[in-house]
Amino acid sequence: MSSSIDHVQQLADLLRKSDNIVAFTGAGISTESGIPDFRSPGGVWSKYQPVEFDDFLRHAEARRQYWTIRRESVPQMLAAKPNAGHHALVELEQRGKLQAVVTQNIDELHQRAGSTRVLELHGTAMQVQCLECDKRWTAAELQPRLEADELELICDACDGIMKSMTVSFGQALSADVLMDSMQRARECDLMIAIGSSLVVYPANEVPATAKRNGAKLVILNREKTPLDSYGDLVIRGEIGQTLSAAVTQLS
């Protein structure tokens, strides 16, 4: 599917007129880097149910399932490279237009592309912490242990339970990150929601809040979203080509 030239021009016009843009991104911006979103066939999520936070805390079996998923998904994220969509957002920041990226993604590809103001609503899968003493590890350094079938990771400093620094279903988001994201949403003049089904609460409150506070709302996603009827511009197209074509028109 491709977005029409007309849509690209409309997006470029909105970008030109705005200087306080916030991008709200979801798993869709990383599929072109080879990281599957929730729905793609063949992705880890088509094989495993995500583990709820309560189950993770209570049951060793749930933790084994959790680390089995990480054993597959972390190498994909480590091997992935930022794509045209991530790079277009970096260029918008460097032109002084984009003030922040609020992301649901846990793959750190925005930061690796060069975005400097990234608010990670759901944390990062690239770091692991002890839930008791807060000792930290990189996901990369723990990967050999997972591959050796060590699927119950216990902190070597205090015997606490270790967990990726992501927000699981049933786990609270960081209040600071959420507050900062909402503040930026209230203040922006243009919110671009990119590659998100916009069904995960409370993250989807970020674009909704921007619209309620007078910002223009652009939705760029392959599929319909529940916020489409509030969008000033809704583009059902591919992210990399659409964003880079629009940003190119700014020069």
222 makes contact with ligand NAD (CB under 6 A): yes
Label residues 53-88 b or e (16+ Cβ within 10 Å = b). bebbeeeeebbebbbbbbbebbebbeebebbbbbbb
Decide if 110 is catalytic: no
What is the spatial distance between Cα 179 and Cα 206, in angstroms, rounded to a whole number?
Answer: 10
Best CA proximity match to 164, nearest among 120, 124, 197, 192: 124
What is the spatial distance between Cα 203 and Cα 158, in angstroms, rounded to a whole number?
Answer: 33
Best CA proximity match to 26, nearest among 229, 225, 163: 225
Cβ–Cβ < 8 Å for 68, 56: no
106 makes contact with ligand NAD (CB under 6 A): yes
For the chain, the 3-state helix, strand and coil shares in percent, each to the nearest 5, are 45, 20, 40
Q: Find tokens 């990771």 and name the residue.
A: 153
Q: Which of 5-13, 98-106, 155-163, 172-180 is the region at the interface with ligand NAD (rule: CB under 6 A)? A: 98-106
The CA-to-CA distance between both ends of the chain, in Å, stands at 26
State which of residues 104, 111, 168, 209 lies at the interface with ligand NAD (CB under 6 A): 104
Q: Which of 22-30, 57-65, 141-149, 157-165 is the region at the interface with ligand NAD (rule: CB under 6 A)? A: 22-30
200 makes contact with ligand NAD (CB under 6 A): yes
28-47 mask for ligand NAD (x: CB under 6 A)?
A: x-xxx--x-xxx--------
**Cα dist from 72 to 42, 64, 129, 135, 147, whole Å:** 12, 13, 19, 23, 9
238 makes contact with ligand NAD (CB under 6 A): yes
* Nearest-approach distance from CB 141 to ligand NAD, in angstroms: 20
90 makes contact with ligand NAD (CB under 6 A): no
Q: Which is nearer to ligand NAD, 120 or 189 (CB)?
A: 120
Q: Which helix (H) or strand (E) holds 132?
A: none
Q: Which of 62-70, 110-118, 135-143, 215-223 is the region at the interface with ligand NAD (rule: CB under 6 A)? A: 215-223
* Nearest-approach distance from CB 87 to ligand NAD, in angstroms: 14
180-199 mask for ligand NAD (x: CB under 6 A)?
A: ---------------xxx--
For ligand NAD, the binding residues (CB under 6 A) are: 26-28, 30-32, 35, 37-39, 104-107, 122, 195-197, 200, 221-223, 238-239
Active site residues: 122
